[in-house]
Structure 1
Amino acid sequence: MTVVKRQDIRLSEFKGGHFSPSEDFAKTFPKMASLLQQTLTVDFKINHGLRFRQYIWTRADGSTVGWVCRVDHCVPQGRNIIDEHQLLANELGGIIQTWVDKPYEVKADTLIKNNNFTFCLSDSAIGFGGWEEKYIEQCKKEGVKPLNSEDFVTFALESNGNATFYHKETKDVYIYLHDGYAPFDNTIVEGQPEYSIHQLDKAKGFVEYVELLASQWLDIIK
């Protein structure tokens, strides 16, 4: 029998404050900057290594909304991270958990819902979030010329497997819907298999995606 030794988790270096965006951040992501400036923040480390930040909003009725973000300042090499993504992650962090005291009030089409991560630099990777082989199989089956997965970077991954990614040059955003379903409006990319690559109707590019997300959360914290 193998005995697994429990590893203690130690929290340290707590620091409370407020979000103060750089001029570049506020200019690029004005709605996200407005959203974050309304929070209380708590920075802390786990085991003197991994850095995290908690964002907390208090609504008019006293209930709270929040995010837990992992803060990665080092940009992984060779992953084609675009400048806007790097800017966002360097100041915001990468969202790994969210909560709303009254979740029944949240509309179903919120972009961050049951995501394993969103924007995390260390988790973002080239490709379609692990769907590359299935995608190729679908394209062969339907006689479709596949897109080159190495031109894309996955920056968000839902717990059900749907991956959201952008093109490294055009910065257009797409989502891989392996079962064809998403709670928000989307359109299949022309010439692609049905259960594969779609585009969000309200967020064609990365900056638009970030600003749409911020707008949705601004509605939640009212």
Structure 2
Amino acid sequence: MANSQMKSRKQLKGRFCMGTVVIVDDHPLIRIAVRILLEKKGHTVLAEAGNGVDAIQLIRTHEPQVLVLDLDIPKLDGLSVMSHLKSSRFAGKILILTASASADFARRCLKAGAAGFMSKDGELDEIANAVQALLSGLSYFPGDTMALSREGGDSRTHSASSPLTNREITILRLLIKGKKNRDIATTLFISHKTVSTYKSRLLRKFNATSLLELVEIVRRGNSI
């Protein structure tokens, strides 16, 4: 387990904070599993959402203490949801729960305002410890994320010639998963032409001549 997570568990020993939670994930089984794990610890799950647009509305309505947020969600991706909540001065804590295990991506979420980051590839049972940490005023990130943040970042973060926007990262992640342009357009509620424009922009930023080359560059850099 990462150092920062171990530290959080030690600091929290003997004091458990119960809180209110909204869960946002487009996979119903993940939402059910997270709900069960949190409710077993006494937390109150106020609502669930499967896309970013519904998430924002539910957060306005319920004002949860903790938002458990997936990044690859339809209509409005998780990074865009965080940006919206930051501008609206959301008072709760955001815990990212994602299929990505990239330290660089965790660092980007930290900068975007998240208070915690968990990979779905890890032990989902840790979700209760993560929520408890956030409610107690602690952060919950992999240790290497915090180290990179203190050092001011890593020049090997990604191979792009200029920083990627949140939307570019979302589309890049979907492309790497093998999603077609039309599927990405449907998921993000944008036009097929817009997806093509973003793809061309990503190819230029990574100096790639094809999608296969782009995927190879990103995977080699382990940045998404």
TM-score (norm 2): 0.31
State the structure with bigger RCO (CA 8 A, min sep 6), 1 or 2.
Answer: 2
Determine which structure has more spread, i.e. the larger CA radius of gyration. Answer: 1
